[in-house]
Copies of this chain bind each other. A is one copy, B any other.
Amino acid sequence: MDEAPALHPDVVPLAFLLGEWAGEGRGEYPTIESFPYREQVRFWHVGKPFLAYTQGTKHAETGLPLHAEMGYWRCFPGDDGVPAHIEVVLSHPSGISEVLEGSLRADLAGLATIDLTTSSVTRTHTAKQVTALARQLTVEGDVLRYSVAMAAVGQPLTHHLGAELRRV
């Protein structure tokens, strides 16, 4: 799975994500106690028009595994002045699936920003009632920052996760 074919042209605009990232974040939500976490993220490709993605977090103090997710990122490059369209499909081990759509913008100073919102959140019947998520991810050089807002268990879309990772 891990050969090194040429990057598919469709995902060249996402090349800045490729590789491994690690760092720290904080989770919070109105219904839980906030918690610090350590995170590892990996983006890779197989020469086809998507990036594969996997992520895992551990509690920063206890080291116990917390969340994980994995899925695929697709890109449909925009025309002059039109941001690239991004599609992401993510699976969560808690029985939740996110389908996200949004855009990629890059500014002249080298900051790339991806904004995504869920077009659907589906779940197994035992999973928590998550109804919507919004994700923003930025990369500037070797620093990846993201934030996740979540609507769940009766709460409106509310900040849930924020982290800063560095390329490793």
Binding site for B on A (CB under 8 A): 1, 40, 46-48, 50, 52, 54, 56, 65, 68, 70-72, 74, 76, 87, 89-93, 95-99, 101, 119-120, 122-127
Smallest Cβ distance from A19 to chain B, in angstroms?
Answer: 16
Copies of the chain in the assembly: 2
Taking A46-B68, A72-B93, A91-B91 as known contacts, 6 extra A-B pairs with beta carbons closer than 8 A to each other, sorted by chain A number, are A70-B70, A70-B71, A87-B95, A87-B127, A97-B99, A101-B125
A99 to B96, CA, bound (A): 8
- Binding site secondary structure of chain A: strand
10 A-B pairs whose Cβ atoms sit less than 8 Å apart in the complex: A1-B68, A46-B56, A46-B65, A71-B91, A87-B126, A89-B92, A90-B91, A97-B120, A99-B124, A119-B124
